Amino acid sequence: MALKKREMVLAYVIVGLLGAGGVVRTIFVPFQERLATLERTLTVEEARFKKGASLREYGDTITSEYAQYESYFSLGGISDEEAVAAFLKEIEKLSRVTELTILDMKPQKNVEADKFSRQFQIVVKAESGMGALVRFLYALYASPLLFSVEKMTVLPKTDDSSLLSATLTVVGVVFT
């Protein structure tokens, strides 16, 4: 069965179109998909770069803000005993500066710890006037070590005295 010239041309055209379609599907479509993926990735990376560039403009500001809190991380690699000693020393130093008289200072044995920090409780019994107590609390707040007052009880030492008897539960925090 021989094909006529017209049928042969039509067969060649059909085979050519099918071959061209196959080439497009096997070569150009995957290439186009890969280009689209790269374009999306480039857009995302470009956005990240712009964000990083804007943060870089604020680098000095970020560094100065970090410097304010850098001392809180200074006790990171020390043992529990060394941390308690550092907290007791700082509390004692602040009490001397603010003229608060410490009667008793006891670190508690239980250390609360989580993934990022360890908290040490210290019970401080002290006597002072109201001004010295306020200065001491402010000094704790402004200390280079991270302290918080968890509990505070203030009573007059006697009925007619200007001296106060205070019991504070101070928590010192060490970031690990």
User: Does 19 score more than 90 pLDDT?
Assistant: no
User: Does 72 score more than 70 pLDDT?
Assistant: no
pLDDT, tens digit (0-9, with 9 covering 90-100), for 139-150? 999 998 889 999
User: Does 28 score more than 90 pLDDT?
Assistant: no
Q: What are phi and psi of 21, to 5 degrees?
A: -65, -40
Between residues 12 and 55, which one has the greater pLDDT? 12
Question: What integer is the mean pLDDT of 15-21?
Answer: 86
Cβ contact 90:145 at 8 Å: yes
Q: Among positive and negative, which fits the CA dihedral 105, 108, 109, 115?
A: negative
Structure tokens at 124: 């401080």
| pLDDT-above-70 percentage for the chain | 94
